[in-house]
Amino acid sequence: MRHFITLDDVTTAQIETIFALTTDLKQKLKQGVREPLLPGRVLALLFEKPSLRTRVSFESCMAHLGGSSLMLGADTGFGSPRESLADFARVLTQMVDVVVIRSKRHDTVTEFAKNADCSVINGLTDISHPCQALADLYTVREHFAKQGGGNLKGRKIAWIGDANNVARSLAHGCARLGVEFVIAGPKGYQMAPDLLDKFRTQSPDAKLTVLEDPVEAVDGASAIYTDIWASMGQEHEADVRKKAFAGYQVNEALFAQAPDDAIFLHCLPAHRGEEVTDGVIDHERSLVVEQAANRLHVQKGILVWLLGSHA
């Protein structure tokens, strides 16, 4: 039985398998074909945080694949003192085929998976967002392939801002797929050196760099990526973070320092006028909508890889 909790759960070859499934299923959907590869399968969604893209994309995934989904609210007792997480996991996973968890704490997902009798997918935790990272990398590859620019390997992605859960998973994915990853942020909010060392150990050819200068970061980058400065659960730090990240806004002046074919990415929701200006997020080379839409297609690939004939 497979889980998808971090990118440690997939090899580079398996990521390529997921991407191949994604392309096949996306092309078929465009042709009006919704292939029922997971008939009768049931997906349960356990969310401790609000969600638009993760919830709707997973529910649509299962409908397109011939299965069904259950959005389980607080009345089921998830995360409450009503019963232990282990007991909750042991019972629920006898009744469904796969569980997606969006949790405040990464340990909740790993503890749940340890006691689960079906596959578990990380829908976001405080330290990891692997579904988002695969959708991001797929979006970059898809865009440049359409432009005749080949695959991902050798490209550079510049992350401007906080070293949050999305940034960490994206750095991990870049290391796996031969993409250079540069992150620029103020001291105190940068990516931990031991985490980057772990990725370098797994992928010795990985190019992972931490900078303070955002202009240096976007030089030669194929994609410029940012996210909100205070993530869910950090709202009480918002004022302090606004001051710390004030020099890291992705605006027209910074975007102009990147190559003429560079694209802009944001995992959304965006705080327009803070981490990104309207002129960049609405730019003709902004792919934020395509990036969000690819959550649907890539997560279909993940579900079929976990539960279908590739399992």
Q: Is there a catalytic annotation at residue 118? A: no
Which value, in Å, is the radius of gyration of the alpha carbons in the chain? 19
Say if residue 131 carries a ligand binding annotation.
yes
Rounded-to-integer distance, Cα 176 and Cα 217, Å: 20
Determine if residue 193 is labeled as part of a ligand binding site: no
Would the annotation count 61 as a binding residue?
no
Ligand-binding annotation for 132, yes or no, is yes
Query: Residue 122, annotated ligand binder?
Result: no
Q: Which of 61, 118, 174, 267 is the catalytic position?
A: 267
Q: Residue 231, annotated ligand binder? A: yes
* Residue 102 annotated as catalytic: yes
Strand order in the sheet with 208-211: 208-211, 180-184, 156-160, 223-226, 263-266
Catalytic residue among 3, 41, 129, 266: 129
Name the active-site residue from 227, 241, 266, 299: 227
| 71 among annotated binding-site residues | no
Active site includes 172?
no
**Active-site option among 64, 266, 295, 297:** 295
Q: Is 232 annotated among the ligand-binding residues? A: yes
Q: Kindly name the residue from 102, 141, 143, 297 that is annotated as catalytic.
A: 102
Does residue 295 have a known ligand-binding role?
A: yes
107 is catalytic: no
Q: Which residue among the candidates 3, 118, 126, 132 is catalytic per the annotation? A: 132
Question: Nearest-5° angle of CA 235, CA 46, CA 30?
Answer: 95
Active-site residue, 295 included: yes
Tell whether 267 is in a known binding site.
Answer: yes
CA distances from 37 to 15, 66, 135, 305 (A): 19, 7, 20, 11
174 is catalytic: no
Binding site per annotation, positions for L-ornithine: 165, 227, 231-232
Binding site per annotation, positions for carbamoyl phosphate: 102, 129-132, 267-268, 295
Q: Which residues are catalytic?
A: 102, 129, 132, 227, 267, 295
Binding site per annotation, positions: 102, 129-132, 165, 227, 231-232, 267-268, 295
